Amino acid sequence: MIGGFTHHGGALAAAARHFGGEDWLDLSTGINPAPWPGTIEADWQRLPEREALTALEEAAAAHFGVSPAYCCAVPGSEMALRLIGQWIRAGSYRWPAYRTHAAAFPDGEASDGPGGARAFLLANPNNPDGRITPTRDLQAWHEDLAARDGWLVVDEAFADATPEVSVAGRVGEWQRLIVLRSFGKFFGLAGLRLGFVLGPGPVVAMLRGILGDWPLGAGALAVGVAAYRDGPWIARARRDLAARARRMDDLLAAHGFKVLGDCPHFRLIDDTQDLFDRLARHRILTRPFDYNPHWLRLGIPAAQEDWARLAGALGDG
């Protein structure tokens, strides 16, 4: 039974209710399974200071390679995407992608390029297939949209692991470009609900006007600054994600599964063996798709016991 698990990943409570059992292994989201390990102290009694938000945006902007003037911290990039959709109001989006992309432009259409739309939204790397759109294509689309006072919106939620694919550094240079970045996926702390919108002055001003003086809590501010300044951990995490992804390829191949798409955070496989239900019986949650019943996306484990558990479940056919 997959119907209740195709909207998004992370529905562990629903999985436990439906399949039973405890101690679930969540491979449904693609979030880094080895989170940033730092500890922080936050002042939970006082309202956050403006200087704390400025420090976070400066640290994040340095990580993205963009001016802090173009960087706006938001309580999750998913919320920001919906706000941007309401601001632009008309656009198309590449499909398949995050469901929020369709929700951001509910009157728009799925497309492989901007066409005649006022905005074009895509994920790069894409979800769920990991597809990378070359910078030259993004630049051509941007030039086309800018000539019509349109917007190119690039969701780079999974770009931290492969920074060479990012166009974040083009924000400002490309006047009609908006880039979204996620903190939780790469740093493995999705519950913090922290993201960023990179865009020109009018975009940043619009978001600040909606979000107000305290867009983030003290915890998100403190963790975000420390994590983005932790260069050694960031470099190590990129290496570790790549190594675990290669190990996942070997494991899937050993059990006869074909990889259809990939990203350091996940693998998309051809599921013709009812694998979702089989893994769920072993209390391993993965991500199926209602629009393609032969697709299954698997996040990648970190702990040795989780690798052993996954290998045993894959072999229990």
Residue 3: how many CB atoms within 10 A of its CB?
8
Question: Are 218 and 282 part of one and the same domain?
Answer: no
Domain final position from 211, 229, 247:
229
Domain-embedded: residue 38: no
- CA-to-CA distance for 140 and 146, rounded, in angstroms? 10
Handedness of CA 172, 177, 182, 187 (dihedral sign): negative
Residue 65 forms part of a structural domain: yes
Q: Is residue 137 part of a domain?
A: yes
- Examine the domain organization and report whether 57 and 167 are in the same domain: yes
Task: Identify whether residues 303 and 203 lie together within a single domain.
Answer: no
50, with CB counted inside 10 A (0-12, 13-18, 19+), is exposed
Kindly state whether residue 125 falls inside one of the protein's structural domains.
yes
- Same structural domain for residues 246 and 151? no
> DSSP strand E in 35-87: where?
71-74
- Following CA atoms 203, 207, 209, 214 in sequence, which dihedral angle do they give, to the nearest 10 degrees? -140
Identify the domain boundary among 212, 229, 246: 229
Segment 265-297, tens digit of pLDDT: 999 999 866 899 999 999 999 999 988 989 999
Q: Does residue 40 lie in a domain region?
A: no
DSSP state, residue 171? B
* 225: confidence class by pLDDT, cuts 50, 70, 90: very high
Q: What is the domain-level CATH number for residue 136? A: 3.40.640.10
Determine, yes or no, domain membership for 187.
yes
- pLDDT for 11 equals 85
Residue 44 domain flag: no
Arithmetic mean of pLDDT, 24-28: 96
- The burial of 71, by beta-carbon neighbours within 10 Å (0-12 exposed, 13-18 middle, 19 or more buried), is given as buried
**Looking at the predicted structure, is the pLDDT value of residue 2 above 70?**
no
d(CA 46, CA 62): 27
Clarify whether residues 64 and 112 are in a common domain: yes
Q: Are residues 26 and 65 in the same domain?
A: no
Does residue 84 surpass a pLDDT of 80? Answer: yes
- Please tell me whether residues 20 and 54 are part of one structural domain: no
Residue 210 resides in a domain: yes
Does the pLDDT of residue 1 top 60, yes or no? Answer: no
Say if residue 82 is in the same domain as residue 208. Answer: yes
pLDDT tops 80 at residue 7 = no
The total domain count for the chain is 2
Please check whether residues 247 and 293 belong to one and the same domain.
yes
239 and 176 in one domain? Answer: no
**Predicted TM-score (pTM) of this structure:** 0.96
Residues 89 and 206 in one domain: yes
- What pLDDT was estimated at residue 176? 97
Q: What is the model's pLDDT at position 80?
A: 95
Which tokens sit at 287? 């991500």
Q: How far apart are CA 128 and CA 88, in angstroms?
A: 25
What is the total residue count of the chain? 317
Domain boundary residue among 167, 197, 229? 229
In this structure, what are the phi and psi dihedrals at residue 26, rounded to the nearest 5 degrees? -95, 105
Dist CA 21 CA 35 (whole Å): 25
* Full domain range(s) for residue 221: 50-229
